[in-house]
Amino acid sequence: MTALGRWALPALLAVPLLAGCGDKPVRPQTGTIPLKAWCVLGPGESPGNRSNRGCRLMTHEIQQYIRHLQNSSYILGANIRFAWQIYELDEAQDPALLPYVSRTRDYRVWHQTVVFNYWTEGHINIYFVGNVEYYPPAQPDAITVDPSQAWRLDPDDRPWILINDTGYGSENGITYDPLTCTIPANVLVHEMVHYLARFESQCFGVEPNRRCYDSGEHIANVLDYNILRYGYACDIPYPPYLPGRWKQPETERGRIWARVYAGQWPYP
């Protein structure tokens, strides 16, 4: 899983809240994060068609991705909840996905074409797509632009999470390649932690349990079950794990929990 550039109670807010001036908390002291899920399709396409140039996932497969994310919210700390109902899947159109045209999309162009036309404020927007590349020819399972990255790129930019359907295959004609991510998949949980964390080039803990993240917000120890480790494939069977305690803001879990509980998760 790839992230771009890498992808409370007052007594517990010992870490700085990285919001800009004038940013209002979203549902503070609830631990609730509303989600907006989009199935991105080409002209004339419908959800659940394996020959789409846009997203080829079935509706129930997308629902399972999000349900797995909701069921994994415990790794972020106490009483964190992703608000989304099974009937809330929306469709977005990518007009560039025409027949006999490459289904491969550069994320920068895709951002301007899709995100700027289909995006809901006050939610974490998750896009289920076909094949969006991060600096071609890289084909990641997913890409994340978190609020701090979006602000650095352009103060008017918008953050998002993108999930590719994988199994990319032929660029022309109909694609029947098998989808390579099993369901439910930890890839969305991995990307959500990227979206909420601000761990670039930071270390936590002390030896022998010191944990250091690189500039891409990944940790190198492949033997660690940390959800932010390198090579955390979408179908790894290990349960999602994030180090630390939610009541300890000097830990990874505590840092995220404090931001979410304060309602500052949408901001840099």
Where is average pLDDT lowest: 57-66, 73-82, 88-97, 127-136?
127-136
What pLDDT is attached to residue 165? 85
Residue 62 burial (CB count, 10 A): 24
The least confident of 1-15, 70-84, 128-142, 161-175 is 1-15
* pLDDT tens-digit readout, 180-232: 565 567 889 999 999 999 999 999 998 888 999 999 999 887 667 899 987 66
What's the pLDDT score for residue 116?
A: 93
Task: Give the Cα separation of 138 and 204 in Å (integer).
Answer: 30
Per-residue pLDDT at 174: 47
The pLDDT tens digits for 228-261 are 987 665 656 677 899 999 999 999 999 999 999 9
Q: 160 and 126 in contact (C-beta within 8 Å)?
A: yes
Mean pLDDT value across residues 115-130: 95
pLDDT recorded at residue 214: 94
Q: Above pLDDT 90, what percent of the chain?
A: 50
| All structural domains of the chain with their residue ranges | 33-261
pLDDT digits (tens, 9 = 90+) for 124-183: 999 999 888 887 666 778 899 999 988 887 777 899 999 988 765 554 444 445 555 655
Q: For strand 104-106 and strand 142-145, is the pairing parallel, antiparallel, or unpaired?
A: unpaired
Contact 34, 142 (CB under 8 A): no
Please report where in the chains the tokens 């109902």 appear, as a residue.
85
- Above 60 in pLDDT, residue 91? yes
Q: Is the pLDDT of residue 7 over 60?
A: no
Whether the link from the prior residue into 10 is cis, omega within 30° of 0, is: no
- pTM value? 0.87
Amino acid at 45: E
* Structural domain 33-261, CATH architecture: 3-Layer(aba) Sandwich (3.40)
Element (H, E) at 40: strand 32-41
